[in-house]
Amino acid sequence: MKIVFIRHGHTAGNLEKRYIGSTDGPLCGEGIAELKQMHYPQCEKLICSPMKRCIQTAQLLFPTQEITVCQDLRECDFGDFEGKNYNDLNGNSEYQDWIDSGGKLPFPHGEAPDEFRKRCVRAFDKIIAENSGCRSLFFILHGGPIMSVLEKYAVPRMDYFSWHCENGHGYICSWNGSELTITERI
């Protein structure tokens, strides 16, 4: 089965390098313009995070395709870091602790990274099981869910942060039932 992962287009928060997880903001004008210039493969089924930025991306790229929304593929809740960037958090002891942990500590008043990753992988597993007869699935998601699934299933094995992709970009993969092989980066 062919699996395509695309990160949603830019939002204003992305351009300002802010932690945008549970904030449900729209794409910005620059993000819309960038997406209109990209070319993506067609697919049989379109899966999307429930967040506005992902729904808008899906509607821009595939205006006639039905969208299946998966609640559990939403981005991580960054808690007290939500909406802030490095400059805002510089000097914050909780942020420094989180950085020093390699991103493993729970976000203060937010989601624990390991629970977030497990949530995303469970959602992916469920979607794969429900669509085993499909030839291709296209996921329009956030960076975190994409990295979570690829960390778990992609070969060669790499850590979570190694699978980062820019807005509007992603990966075309081949799924053999237990592993994802990257065939192309978009």
Give the per-residue pLDDT at 43: 80
Q: Domains in the chain, ordered, with CATH?
A: 2-185 (3.40.50.1240)
Asked whether the beta carbons of 73 and 141 are under 8 A apart, the reply is yes
Is the separation of the CB atoms in 68 and 49 below 8 Å?
no
**DSSP-derived 3-state class of residue 103:** coil
Residue 160 is which amino acid?
A: Y
Taking the C-alpha atoms of residue 19 and residue 153, their distance in angstroms, rounded to an integer, is 25
Q: Are strands 45-48 and 180-185 parallel, antiparallel or unpaired?
A: unpaired
The string of pLDDT tens digits covering residues 77-126 is 999 999 999 999 999 999 999 999 998 999 999 999 999 999 999 999 99
Residue type, 11: T
Distant-in-sequence contacts of 111-115, Cβ < 8 A, 24+ apart: 111/21, 111/76, 111/77, 111/78, 111/79, 113/76
Residue-wise pLDDT for 10-49, tens only, equals 999 999 999 999 999 999 999 999 999 998 988 889 999 9
**Model confidence, pTM:** 0.95
pLDDT, tens digit (0-9, with 9 covering 90-100), for 123-166 = 999 999 999 899 999 999 999 999 999 999 999 999 999 999 99
pLDDT of residue 181: 97
The CA distance from 72 to 50, in Å, is 9
pLDDT at 42 (0 to 100): 85
